[in-house]
Structure 1
């Protein structure tokens, strides 16, 4: 029951952000779209156990939908047409957030690390693209808004790197390794 409430809260916040989406691409891309993805991730359906045969197909579906919503054309369509608007509110939670949550526990640490690195590199690429493009990429937003969005992408990328590195350096296995290194260095002296 709590997952329904959290998912509903994320969806309500995403709906509330709609008021500012038309005027600010930062709210659109870095607030509303992540909230919609979180809404799908938190759905109780995300606890279902997937058959191993479909994990790869579900992951590909989530990655394709996520890539589509990174395109400036998709953002414009969501602002200009009612079909794009409905597609955003339906596909991001149900075809990106939920499928990603369904497959995440089935992925090995190497693939999870690769997807995290790919996310950071894509955010940095988008940050560079939006700040250095000689023309407007989204017809619905001004060039200054586009540059702010590019800086926002870069900030999110750096924040994710820090967030994902904290457990690496705070984990007990890292401290054990560090302790063993100090024991070894003490022996050599």
Structure 2
């Protein structure tokens, strides 16, 4: 998919989420608010970053202080919008909701898109572990809390959102674990033994026999 189409998709998704009926429906329950609307707003920023030219991406990443700066901004911003007080404020005040609509794409999704490859395997692992631990902690908090932590949502809705976050954390961990380890032995074997069943030689790899 070319860059203009990606940028158009980001703009279309953002406008769809900003429509009053869509916004009201997504924010009517804690589960949809936290686990549908917020991730989709982050996806807007990821799409936006993917639709930028390489030189623009490099310039923005440099301005953000490199991959670590972008990752820090994304971590703090996403953590803030998981707080019960932030959710309440977004539901009660349209201006706070507007700030949420601006910061999640620009300070979470876009920095992640810019920094993802430069982060390397260790940095990406930190992102996944941070996401999983945050989902588990907040989910446990919502399930175990004896009272409502969000004034805008009922206790049953709160517990439902908490269990959903715990389940999503498990799915994310399973997918990440599978991506890390499943298929690697096959790839290693494919590298050791060629498609024709023979072990490749330096010449077959296009490398000189002697250096």
TM range (shorter): 0.7 to 0.9
Q: Measured at CA, do residues 140 and 53 of structure 1 come closer, stay the same or move farther in structure 2, by a change above 3 Å?
A: closer
Q: Measured at CA, do residues 52 and 87 of structure 1 come closer, stay the same or move farther in structure 2, by a change above 3 Å?
A: closer
Q: Normalising by the residue count of structure 2, what TM-score does the alignment of the two structures yield?
A: 0.77
Deviations 1:70-99 (A, max 9, x none): 111111111101221110111111111111
SS at 2:150's partner residue?
coil
SS at 1:45's partner residue?
coil
Please tell me whether Structure 1 or Structure 2 has the larger radius of gyration of its CA atoms: 2
Name the counterpart of 2:161: 149
Do the aligned partners of 2:43 and 2:109 also contact (CA within 8 Å) in 1? yes
Q: Measured at CA, do residues 34 and 53 of structure 1 come closer, stay the same or move farther in structure 2, by a change above 3 Å?
A: closer
Deviations 1:2-37 (A, max 9, x none): 111221243244335312134211110000000000
Name the counterpart of 1:7: 10
- Superposed CA RMSD in Å reads 2.2
Name the counterpart of 2:206: none
Do the aligned partners of 2:42 and 2:109 also contact (CA within 8 Å) in 1? yes
Distance in 1 (alpha carbons) for counterparts of 2:53 and 2:121: 19
Distance in 1 (alpha carbons) for counterparts of 2:170 and 2:134: 12
Which residue, out of 56, 61, 67, partners 2:73?
Answer: 61
**Unaligned 5+ residue runs, structure 1?**
180-189
Deviations 1:42-62 (A, max 9, x none): 102385113398112222111
Q: How many residue pairs were aligned? A: 178
Q: Measured at CA, do residues 52 and 105 of structure 1 come closer, stay the same or move farther in structure 2, by a change above 3 Å?
A: farther
Q: Structure 1 residue runs of 4+, over 4 Å off?
A: 176-179
Query: Is residue 24 of structure 1 aligned with residue 35 of structure 2?
Result: no
Query: Is residue 72 of structure 1 aligned with residue 77 of structure 2?
Result: no
Distance in 1 (alpha carbons) for counterparts of 2:64 and 2:42: 24
Do the aligned partners of 1:45 and 1:98 also contact (CA within 8 Å) in 2? no
Higher helix share: 1
Query: Is residue 45 of structure 1 aligned with residue 52 of structure 2?
Result: yes
**Unaligned 5+ residue runs, structure 2?**
191-211
Q: List aligned pairs for 1:1-189, cutoff 5 A.
A: 1-15=4-18, 17-43=22-48, 44-45=51-52, 47=54, 48-49=57-58, 50-51=61-62, 54-55=65-66, 56-171=68-183, 173-175=184-186
Cα offset, 1:165, TM superposition:
2.5
